[in-house]
Copies of this chain bind each other. A is one copy, B any other.
Amino acid sequence: MPSEFELIRQFFVRPTSHTLLGVGDDAALIAPTPGCELVISTDLLVEGTHFLANTEPFDLGWKTLAVNVSDMAAMGATPRWATLAAALPAPTLDWLDAFSRGFFACAEAFKIDLIGGDTTRGPRAFCVTIMGEVPAGAALLRSGAQVGDSIWVSGTPGRAALGLAHLQGRITLAEPQLDQCLAALHRPQPRVVLGLALRGLATAAIDVSDGLLADLGHILTASHCAAKLHIPHLPPAGLARDCYLSGGDDYELIFTLPAAHRRFMTPLAVEIDLPLTCIGTITSSVPNTSDRLVIHDDQGLPITPTRHGFDHFL
């Protein structure tokens, strides 16, 4: 077995492009861009909870970084640097090679320098901390939604959960939907370009990691608002609808928009080649309450969703 230091050198040290001192000292050194704020997020992925033991290591490497990049997208930030800490039971070199290729494929796609890390023996788990930058005052927060704002979502939420349901044998998907859903599950595409475009336009944003309703709920809580949803082309009651409303792991963006900025969405969707769908309205400014969300189906009939998103301790 190669030593910890050899493993790091072999698989996790690559040239950096915007870092003063990368992997190999007690800490990394970066020079933040003057006039920018630093945007920081951390995520821990644990085998059995966030991914299955038989997940393809390339996909897992991609997704480990991608879910963190998605947090930068939700803040309207440019991702810049990341650290990776890994606990591994008894890694084979093949597995580590594929994992690191997936991780760096995502890093290169989003121009992120890996600047530090830690490897240790233990039940398989990965912790990424990502750092991005945003011009001072320009970050998209959860707390800015205003009464009258329209509510939007990118892409097609629910695909990742549908893909997982297919793998679990709970439904059988046909092409091309199968491909789309497995891609959403295994190689989520963080919406960084959308997040950057929404700076100065959106009043609030969040990425869909726990499910559309749960994550929209976080915006409503932070903004002290209520909302009415009327979702075009919402699937009929059943697994597809549950996945749309409550499936986690999608990494699409939910955002709110003042009336004056609605007109930018059609050209933006074309420009970034990504559907942007208006799914409802912020209806009132309310104090803390759990009764914030009214949902209607295509026919205008009220819906009671069956599941409210993912909580690791429920």
- Which residues of chain A have a CB within 8 Å of any CB of chain B? 1-5, 7, 20-21, 24-32, 34, 37-44, 46-50, 71-72, 74-75, 77, 81, 83-87, 115-123, 125, 127, 129-132, 134, 136, 139, 141-143, 205-207, 222, 311-314
Q: Is the CB of B121 within 8 A of A123?
A: no
Distance in angstroms from A31 CB to nearest chain B CB is 5
- Which residue from chain B places its CB closest to the CB of A2 in the assembled complex? B313
Q: Is the CB of A42 within 8 A of B129?
A: yes
Distance in angstroms from A85 CB to nearest chain B CB is 4
Q: Using known A-B contacts A118-B44, A125-B125, A127-B42, determine if residue A32 contacts B32 with beta carbons closer than 8 Å.
A: yes
Q: Is the CB of B27 within 8 A of A87?
A: no
- Which residue from chain B places its CB closest to the CB of A195 in the assembled complex? B26
Query: Which residues of B have CB within 8 Å of A84?
Result: 42
Those 8 A-B pairs whose CB atoms lie nearest each other, nearest first: A46-B122, A127-B127, A129-B129, A27-B41, A44-B85, A26-B74, A42-B83, A123-B123
- Which residue from chain B places its CB closest to the CB of A3 in the assembled complex? B311
Q: Is the CB of A314 within 8 A of B3?
A: yes
Query: Which residues of B have CB within 8 Å of A81?
Result: 40
Query: Which residues of B have CB within 8 Å of A312?
Result: 4, 119-121
Q: A46–B47 Cα gap in the complex (Å)?
A: 14
Q: A34–B87 Cα gap in the complex (Å)?
A: 36
Q: Is the CB of A42 within 8 A of B116?
A: yes
Query: Which residues of B have CB within 8 Å of A44?
Result: 85-87, 118, 120, 122, 125, 127
Q: A132–B38 Cα gap in the complex (Å)?
A: 13
Query: Which residues of B have CB within 8 Å of A21?
Result: 139, 141
22 residue pairs of the A-B complex, CB under 8 angstroms, read A7-B313, A21-B139, A27-B77, A29-B40, A29-B75, A29-B139, A30-B37, A31-B37, A31-B38, A32-B32, A40-B83, A40-B129, A42-B118, A42-B127, A44-B85, A44-B125, A44-B127, A46-B121, A46-B122, A46-B123, A121-B312, A129-B129
Q: A39–B20 Cα gap in the complex (Å)?
A: 10
Q: Is the CB of A40 within 8 A of B119?
A: no
Q: A46–B126 Cα gap in the complex (Å)?
A: 12
Q: Is the CB of A207 within 8 A of B85?
A: no
Q: Using known A-B contacts A5-B311, A85-B44, determine if residue A27 contacts B122 with beta carbons closer than 8 Å.
A: no
Query: Which residues of B have CB within 8 Å of A83?
Result: 40-42, 129
Q: Is the CB of A31 within 8 A of B136?
A: yes
Q: Is the CB of B37 within 8 A of A20?
A: yes
Q: A30–B39 Cα gap in the complex (Å)?
A: 7
Query: Which residues of B have CB within 8 Å of A40?
Result: 27-30, 81, 83, 115-116, 129, 131
Q: A81–B115 Cα gap in the complex (Å)?
A: 17
- Which residue from chain B places its CB closest to the CB of A7 in the assembled complex? B313
Distance in angstroms from A156 CB to nearest chain B CB is 21
Distance in angstroms from A22 CB to nearest chain B CB is 10
Query: Which residues of B have CB within 8 Å of A222?
Result: 24-25
Query: Which residues of B have CB within 8 Å of A42?
Result: 83-85, 116-118, 127, 129
